[in-house]
Amino acid sequence: MTGGMDETAPAPLVAVCRRRVRFEEVDMLRIVWHGHYVSFLDDGRVALGEKYPELGYQRLIEAGVAAPVVRLNIDYRSPLRLDEVMEIETRLLWTEAARLDYAYTIRGEDGRIAAEAATVQLLTEPESGEILFVVPPWMEEFRERWRSGRLE
């Protein structure tokens, strides 16, 4: 992932959402089963897409672009428990490539870090699955506004 390594890169875009751990997400010990964290990351990406609609799933569909996850890493730190309110902080990191690099921090209601994660999503053509090597114009325009600080 390239975010933060380029000193000229703009600060990451950040969104935070909160939600409660549901019964269906816990195992017999009443802690969140590890596989559900992938869904929590999607909750974070949705929150970022709501804050920046140009990057939301609806915009990708309208633009005829798919963005499959091609890399996923999760470091589990402390378990989340049934009925606990979690906070999912999602950061979109700057990259010049035709992809989306995300970093996440999931915290328990007491502020402890429950998990840290990262994903990479490549931009592809939905029908063929061919990777886009050139950033689409609508995304390039969004990135220019991001780089120049004109998003918020």
Domains of the chain, each with CATH number or no CATH: 13-147 (3.10.129.10)
User: How many angstroms separate the CA atoms of 21 and 130, rounded?
Assistant: 37
Following DSSP, what letter does each residue of 32-70 receive, concatenated?
A: B-GGGHHHHHHHHHHHHHHHSGGGSHHHHHHHT-B--EE
pLDDT score for 7: 79
Name the pTM for this structure. Answer: 0.92
Residue 120 pLDDT exceeds 70: yes
pLDDT tens digits, 42-71: 999 999 999 999 999 999 999 999 999 999
Q: How many CB atoms are located within 10 Å of the residue 45 CB? A: 24
1 pLDDT tier (thresholds 50, 70, 90): very low
Integer Rg of the chain from CA: 16
> In terms of DSSP H, where are the helices of 1-136?
37-51, 57-63
Do 10 and 149 contact (CB within 8 A), yes or no? yes
152 pLDDT tier (thresholds 50, 70, 90): low
DSSP state of 109: T
Token pair for 39 = 């869904």
Most distant CA pair in the chain: distance in Å? 50
Indicate the burial class of 109 (C-beta count within 10 angstroms; 0-12, 13-18, 19 or more). middle
